[in-house]
Amino acid sequence: TAETKSVMTLPREEVVSPLTGEPIVQYQGVTKTFGDLEVIKGIDLALYPGEKMALIGPSGSGKTTLGRMLMTLEEPTTGTILIDGEPLWQMKTSSGKLVRANEKHLRRMRQKIGMVFQHFNLFPHLSVLRNVTLAPMSVLGLSKEEAYQRAVEMLTKVGLQDKLGEYPSRLSGGQKQRVAIARALVMQPKVMVFDEVTSALDPELVGEVLEVIKEIAIDSDMAMMLITHEMDFARDIADRVIFGAEGRIVEQGSPEAIFEQPESERLQSFLKRFR
């Protein structure tokens, strides 16, 4: 019928968007160029409160760069990123004029985002507990007791309650990565970015880290952006999957749509590699 036909021809993102409300993150017309190389070629993308979004695609397609821009580790060449409706790189003066953000503005915005990287970057000379309490004390100004309490709670969540006094060098890669996750969570960000967090791990350690992330995804209403090559993991926990290639979003949709009914030839051939 005409009615079903009009539904069928709606762009996929309008059909699947399950989440409403104001986006917590918005990329608007974002491009990024390194030297002569344009790695992000115009991205419009919104992440909604509580949404778990998986970003998949070939290496070099710009996924990490998208994540790093949220953390202010890279600045877009053109376009804007809004967090909670506020521009990341610009701020309003008292007279309402938009000017370039100062360090104070960036620091405040950065606190809304937590990021876990492929390499854990723990402080080797600090115990597990001190690695996790450091930022809550120095950045959020929590007392030692408050920071300790929060840190123990997060380290328990990632299953490391019996490693508080241990030093990173005595932990396995999987344990180190779980400390890094606790360290990001303890700041209570609104959005967590997980960037290929299992890529540097020995295969037998991948499972424990994905399991921890899955649990966090299930019992928290934090928004998440998961950059991953683990397709089963993406399918399991994502509300929406974004497939990007060469700096553009090629296709997006529910895990079922993306993995069972990929439309573009590019996504089809990308997925074949994981079969």
Provide the binding-site residues for ligand ADP, judged by CB under 6 A: 34, 39, 57, 59-65
Give residues with Cβ within 8 angstroms of 144, minimum separation 6: 133, 137
**Minimum CB separation from ligand ADP for residue 19, in Å?**
24
Where residue 23 falls (left for φ over 0; alpha for ψ -120 to 50; beta otherwise) is: beta
Both structure tokens of 253: 């949709």
Q: Measured from the CB atom, is 89 or 167 closer to ligand ADP?
A: 89
- Contact yes or no for 192/115 (Cβ under 8 A): yes
Q: In angstroms, what is the minimal distance from the CB of 55 to ligand ADP?
A: 8
What are the φ/ψ torsions at residue 75 (nearest 5 degrees)? -105, 135
Cα gap 242→13, rounded to integer Å = 10
CB 224 within 8 A of CB 191: yes
Least spacing, CB of residue 71 vs ligand ADP, in Å: 13
Q: CB-wise, 175 or 252, nearer to ligand ADP? A: 252
- Report how far residue 70's alpha carbon sits from residue 220's, in angstroms, rounded to the nearest whole number: 20
Nearer to ligand ADP, 154 or 245 (CB): 245
CB of 270 to ligand ADP, least distance (A): 12
Output the smallest distance, CB 34 to ligand ADP, in A. 3
Q: Is 249 exposed, middle or buried (0-12, 13-18, 19+ CB in 10 A)?
A: buried
Between 120 and 270, CB nearer to ligand ADP: 270
Q: Among residues 76 and 136, whose Cβ is nearest to ligand ADP?
A: 76
Residue 117: CB atoms within 10 A of its CB come to: 22
Q: Which is nearer to ligand ADP, 2 or 37 (CB)?
A: 37
Smallest distance, Å, CB 191 to ligand ADP?
A: 18
